[in-house]
Every structure is written in structure tokens, then in C-alpha cells.
């Protein structure tokens, strides 16, 4: 299932083997939450160099429904994507939609954000949903506690995640489909160690670190990853859930992570924020109104090859739908090329030089900017919550 080809320090290069093809690692999975990477089709995503995508069980269960997807031969046939797919279990929605769910010992009870109907997600039926969706890699149902959770909350999250992992293993029966375990525990090293010890004792073919990038600082995220990775088996793939900013990808590979997913590259693209070698470019700013060159001169994506920054600026200012497609193509191209370059540096034994060069020119948003963005997200969630009352 996983072949570790090379290490350079803690950084690793390997190959993830699935029924729908091999995935070179480190790998970034574009997020196709509802069966599509927003604004792109499957050919676009493949042409950009993605070897695996992620879809979400909770959202596909609600719409269009597991039965319909299964009728089309699972997600591969439904999406027209013949490469590997990983499905998340819906555990993260237990965090992001906490105003619409209740937690019981038997699972999560969601109130649909579409029509208010109630839906039970148990460890067993989540496995059944994912088996019928037909993904190559599926995830156990877990509890993702928010940043800053008290010990009593972490106790419960680790306890339920552990119990549900056992029930998920017992329920899983589809051959050719790998089930990954998830380590939880918030920022507590004691809880992380307890969770990792138990989850790895169950013998999953792969392991994820969950419950990071949920509001904590970057330094806290790195501390959790650095502490947890050595407790995961060397011969198994290591998946850091929900992390995808360029600087986090580089640093997490340096700590021994193999797999990533995140909506960040596509989400910020739709807001006119473009990933470049020096950090981010807000193409909506007036200074780009007659900028003749491409986003990046050394980028060979469709957008940079065919269009000027001035054209993208115009599209965003006039709210043309093409703006979102062209920006998404560029941002995903940037991230996927970054992962390819990281892998090549590990294979050639030059990862530390690559890492130093990256940080010498890439300037990420500061912590205050991240906090402002987080507050905006919380405000939007509050508005949704009020609308559903």
C-alpha cells in the first residue's frame, strides 16, 4: 500500500499504491468536497498534475445521496475521475458545523443545513457510506475538538475517537479500499500520546493527524506535528488533515508528513488572492489594472501562459465567472508544482537547501491577518446559525 523510497532528514518521498493508481508522496490532495474542485473539471485537475483528490462523505450523503453516486459506479464514475480518491468521514463537519450537531456515544447527529432534517452518523454507517462511494482511501469517524479545548473535552474526544476507530475497523469489509485511523488530542501532548498509542495499536494501513489548523497558532500546529509524527509507524503513510498553505506544506514535510489536503488554494483564489514565489498577490488591487505580465514568469499553467495580470484584475473587478477559474488553475498549479519540487529535493538529498530557498523569498500572511480572517469566518458561521433558527 505504501513504499518509502527515500528520506532526507525527516522528510520522506514515497509511493502510495491504490486500485486506481499510484500517488507519489509528499502529495497534496485538491478538495472536491461535493464531487468537484470548485470551478474546475476532472480533466483540468488531472492536467495540473493532481494524482489524488479528496471528497467529503457528509456532503455527498446529503446531496446527491450515496444511492445516486453508487448507481453511477461510485465517485470515480460520477465525477469522471479515474485516479485515486480519499473521502473524509464527516468528522470535521462535527467541528465546523457544531451548531448543527449533537455528539452521542454512538456517533454524530446532524441537522441538515439544507432543510433542517436530522441525520445520524455512526462509525458503522459512515463506513458503509464510504464503501458505497467507492473511494480508494477512507477515514474513520472521529471527534475534532476546537483549539483551546479543556482537558475534559479532550478526554471525551480521544475516548470517542478510539472507540469509534475499533467499530470502524470491525465494520469495514470492502477489499481494495484502505481505512486510515486518526490521532486526536488537541494541543495536549498527553492526549496526543494516548491517542497515538491506541490508534497505532489497531494496525491501520495509514494514519492521520487530525484536530490541527482549527484556530491555533502555526507554532502550536508545528509542535503538535513534531511531537506526534515519531509515534506513527515509519512504514505507513502519514496524513496531516486540513493543512495546505505553502509554508505549512514545506514545514510539515520537514517533520515527516506524506499527505495533505486543504481548501485554502482554491478558496483564496476565488477571493482574488494568488500564490506567487514571494507570497500572495491580491490581484484585485488597482495597481494591477494595466500590469502586462503573467502572474509568475516561471509558471507554465494555462493562466500564466495565456493571460496577463491586468486581464485577471479586470475579470475580478467585473465579477466575471472566468476570474475564479483562471485564479484556481494558477493556485492549484502552484501548490502541486511545489509538492513536486519538494519530492525531487528529497530524492536528490537537497531538501534542506530547497527549504531554505523557499523561506528566503516566500512571505506568508502574518498571524494578525490570519486572526482577522478567522474572525470573518466565525461571523459568517454566526449568520448562518441565526438564519437556521
pLDDT, tens digit (0-9, with 9 covering 90-100), for 280-290: 999 999 999 99
pLDDT over 70 percentage in the chain: 93
CA distances to 198, 205, 212, 236, 240 from 224, rounded to whole Å, are: 17, 22, 8, 19, 11
pLDDT exceeds cutoff 50 at 388 = no
- Tens digits of residue pLDDT in 143-175: 999 888 999 999 999 999 999 999 999 999 999
State the chain's mean pLDDT as an integer.
Answer: 93
Closest C-alpha to 16, from 240, 131, 178 = 178
Question: Rounded CA gap, 107 and 125, in Å?
Answer: 10
Residues marked active site are found at 88, 261
Q: What is the pTM of this model?
A: 0.94
Domains delineated in the chain: 27-261 (3.20.20.105), 269-361 (no CATH)
- Tens digits of residue pLDDT in 303-351: 999 999 999 999 999 999 999 999 999 999 999 999 999 999 999 999 9
Of 379 and 155, the one with more pLDDT = 155
Q: Give the angle 16-127-117 at the CA atoms, nearest 5°.
A: 130
Amino acid at each position: 500500500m505504501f513504499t518509502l523510497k527515500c528520506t532526507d532528514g525527516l522528510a520522506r518521498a514515497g509511493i502510495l499504491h491504490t486500485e486506481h493508481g499510484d500517488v507519489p508522496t509528499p502529495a497534496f490532495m485538491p478538495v472536491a468536497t461535493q464531487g468537484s474542485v470548485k470551478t474546475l473539471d476532472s480533466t483540468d485537475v488531472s492536467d495540473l498534475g493532481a494524482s489524488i483528490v479528496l471528497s467529503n462523505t457528509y456532503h455527498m450523503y446529503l446531496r446527491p445521496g450515496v444511492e445516486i453516486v453508487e448507481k453511477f459506479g461510485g465517485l470515480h464514475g460520477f465525477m469522471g475521475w479515474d485516479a485515486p480518491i480519499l473521502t473524509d468521514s464527516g468528522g470535521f463537519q462535527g467541528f465546523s458545523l457544531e451548531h448543527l450537531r449533537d455528539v452521542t456515544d454512538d456517533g454524530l447527529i446532524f441537522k441538515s443545513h439544507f432543510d433542517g432534517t436530522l441525520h445520524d452518523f455512526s462509525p458503522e454507517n459512515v463506513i458503509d457510506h464510504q464503501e458505497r462511494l467507492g473511494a480508494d482511501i477512507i477515514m474513520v469517524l472521529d471527534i475534532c475538538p476546537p483549539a483551546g479545548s479543556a482537558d475534559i473535552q479532550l478526554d471525551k474526544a480521544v475516548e470517542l475517537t478510539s472507540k469509534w476507530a475499533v467499530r470502524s475497523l470491525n465494520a469495514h469489509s470492502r477489499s481494495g479500499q484502505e481505512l486510515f485511523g486518526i490521532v486526536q488530542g488537541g494541543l495536549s501532548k498527553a492526549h496526543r500520546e494516548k491517542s497515538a498509542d491506541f490508534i497505532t495499536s489497531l494496525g491501520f494501513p495509514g494514519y492521520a493527524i487530525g484536530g490541527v489548523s482549527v484556530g491555533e497558532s502555526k507554532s502550536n500546529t508545528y509542535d503538535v506535528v513534531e511531537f506526534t509524527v515519531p509515534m506513527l509507524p515509519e512504514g505507513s503513510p502519514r496524513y496531516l488533515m486540513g493543512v495546505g498553505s505553502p509554508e505549512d506544506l514545506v514545514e510539515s514535510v520537514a517533520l515527516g508528513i506524506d499527505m495533505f489536503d486543504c481548501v485554502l488554494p482554491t478558496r483564496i483564489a476565488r477571493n482574488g488572492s494568488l500564490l506567487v514565489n514571494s507570497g500572495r498577490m491580491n490581484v484585485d488591487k488597482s495597481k494591477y489594472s494595466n500590469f502586462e505580465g503573467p502572474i509568475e514568469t516561471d509558471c507554465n499553467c494555462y493562466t500564466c501562459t495565456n493571460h496577463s495580470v491586468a486581464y485577471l484584475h479586470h475579470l475580478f473587478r467585473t465579477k466575471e465567472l472566468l476570474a475564479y477559474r483562471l485564479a484556481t488553475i494558477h493556485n492549484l498549479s502552484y501548490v502541486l508544482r511545489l509538492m513536486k519540487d519538494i519530492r525531487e529535493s528529497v530524492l536528490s538529498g537537497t531538501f534542506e537547501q530547497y527549504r531554505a530557498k523557499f523561506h528566503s523569498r516566500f512571505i506568508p500572511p502574518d498571524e494578525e491577518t490570519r486572526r482577522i480572517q478567522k474572525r470573518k469566518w466565525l461571523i459568517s458561521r454566526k449568520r448562518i446559525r441565526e438564519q437556521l433558527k
